[in-house]
Structure 1
């Protein structure tokens, strides 16, 4: 039986998504359908799909409601290959913009919106230039594996960081090396993480710190999506890794330049430990409809 899927296309610094509303959790797209929709030649084209579903309407949402009863809406996110992902820093900002545009939530500047994800509940606030999301506690996780990437001359040590989803951050020698890396191929991580990981390649700006703000440039290969123009949680992981390498004098505010634009990262103390936030734009581009078997 065919269904008509009404969708919206959106992006955060070029990291793009297909979003649709399914409050009661009645539409279950298969991995093949998701991959076909995300295909940039034969489908709509996107780095992933986000389903707007009420937390009470799916099993993964129960944990979100237990954590915070205000998390009415759950971000059901799938990568472009159809695989499930825990969180997406750019995606959750675009999701908040979508919920507002569809009249599913109402909150003004300074208000907080709680959204359920498989990585936990995330709180967002709206500002003049987009949204800021508190990604919660972060941790060093995954050790320091070796990473091999096509057109990067030698294997480099990475730093494993979790911000609700897994990352390995790699420092490169200079911008020329960053530009030459061929991220159309999946970087090889040794030892390989059981669940895979996003891999960020980073170089410092010159100077690294200006007006009290750290500055880095990053490219990323996202697990399940390939190279993307931006990765929100990846930008956070890259800033955290650079601060870790730079030492105790490094700042807690960072500007991360990605191929699709610029996002901001801030580390700050909270009752349960240090949290990290991501800020940046979120745009809705167009709406459409698809006929699906």
Structure 2
């Protein structure tokens, strides 16, 4: 790799206000390290963002080899770093925004998004497939097959509904049960009793999770609005282009992301939250919905449980601006 240039072109984008600095580096020539990523994400002295996403060809970096081995069509890789510069396995909002960026740059074609299985994108959590869909109200959205998910402690989850204790600042000091869900990265989901509790939680400080997973965890606080599928959007039975039509469960969520703090949205977190609430509602056997709307501070995303222990996330992807960073000023 060569050293960073004096001026670095970037695009700014977001998915339900989970915002990112996007860099195009097809040949892996940019020395994107933790320091540079953190400086770019600084909201006072940098561009500002919840993370940095580098669009790089999978064949240009070591982490891309596994993606190409899984699917040779995964020629583009999402090299993602959190706001503190740490590497992250996946980002559900980020991969949609990355694909919107690749489209805008003319690096992929829209037709690929409209043909099964969609555009293959390499990530550190494996290959993800992105396709064009209509949202529950007819919105032009992107959907991501997020791949396999699992409960970290399925036996304990079945017996007690929890496998961790979580202390949340700003509430009553009582530790609450949390359920650990892996969606390519780790999450701990906590159910709260009311919208007032959700609004009153202080997520400027990381919740205290016991036991803490080895690589940390993202924490989702959720309030159930409708578990029976009677309060969601309605329409014809779902099909490939409108998979979120029909009745759905509804939850509200806030999230504290490891390495970023509280963010306005988290795609993998929305999946984990929906899967946890579905588990608490009894899963398929208990009549829980397979489709969920997740309201976050930055908007709404949709989650759909797929066959084969997989989950799909859909939502908007917005590109806001393009520019160039003076790296000398950024380092000053």
Per the shorter chain, which TM-score range? over 0.9
In the TM superposition, residue 209 of structure 1 has moved relative to its aligned partner by 2.7
- CA–CA distance in structure 2, aligned partners of residues 126 and 97 of structure 1: 11
Q: Would the aligned equivalents of 2:97 and 2:319 in 1 still touch at CA under 8 Å?
A: yes
1:134 aligns with 2:145: yes
Between the aligned partners of 2:75 and 2:226, the Cα distance in structure 1 is: 44
User: Given the alignment of the two structures, is residue 124 of structure 1 paired with residue 130 of structure 2, yes or no?
Assistant: yes
> 1 CA distance for matches of 2:313 and 2:287?
21
> In the alignment, is the contact (CA less than 8 A) between 1:208 and 1:216 conserved in 2?
no
> Residue 138 and residue 207 in structure 1: after superposition, are their counterparts in 2 closer, same or farther (change >3 A)?
closer
Deviation at 1:242, TM superposition (A): 0.1
Cα 1:6–1:177 shift into 2, 3 Å: same
Give the CA deviation at 1:28.
1.4
1 CA distance for matches of 2:59 and 2:193?
48
Secondary structure in 1 matching 2:126: coil
Q: 1:208 Cα shift?
A: 5.2
C-alpha separation between the residues in 1 aligned to 2:325 and 2:299? 30
Residue of structure 1 equivalent to 2:168: 149
Corresponding residue for residue 299 of structure 2: 261
Matches within 5 A, 1:1-293: 2-108=5-111, 110-111=114-115, 112-128=118-134, 129-141=140-152, 144-153=163-172, 154-206=174-226, 209-210=229-230, 212-247=247-282, 248-269=286-307, 273-293=308-328
**Structure 2: where are the runs of 5+ without partners?**
135-139, 157-162, 233-246
Per-residue CA distance 1:3-36 (angstroms, 9 max, x = gap): 2110000000000000011111110123122111
Distance 1:34 1:277 in 2: 28
Richer in strand (by share): 1
Larger Rg computed on CA atoms: 2
* CA distance in structure 2 between the aligned counterparts of 1:265 and 1:282, rounded to whole angstroms: 15
Structure 1 residue 51, shift from structure 2 partner: 0.3
Distance in 1 separating the partners of 2:73 and 2:6: 31
SS at match of 1:289: strand
Q: Is the 8 A contact 1:55 1:72 kept in 2?
A: yes
Structure 2 SS opposite 1:59: coil
Runs of 5+ consecutive residues of structure 1 not aligned to the other structure: none
SS at match of 1:81: coil
SS in 1 for 2:63: helix
* Mapped contact 2:150–2:309 kept (Cα < 8 A): no
Do 2:226 and 2:249's aligned partners in 1 also have CA atoms closer than 8 Å?
A: no
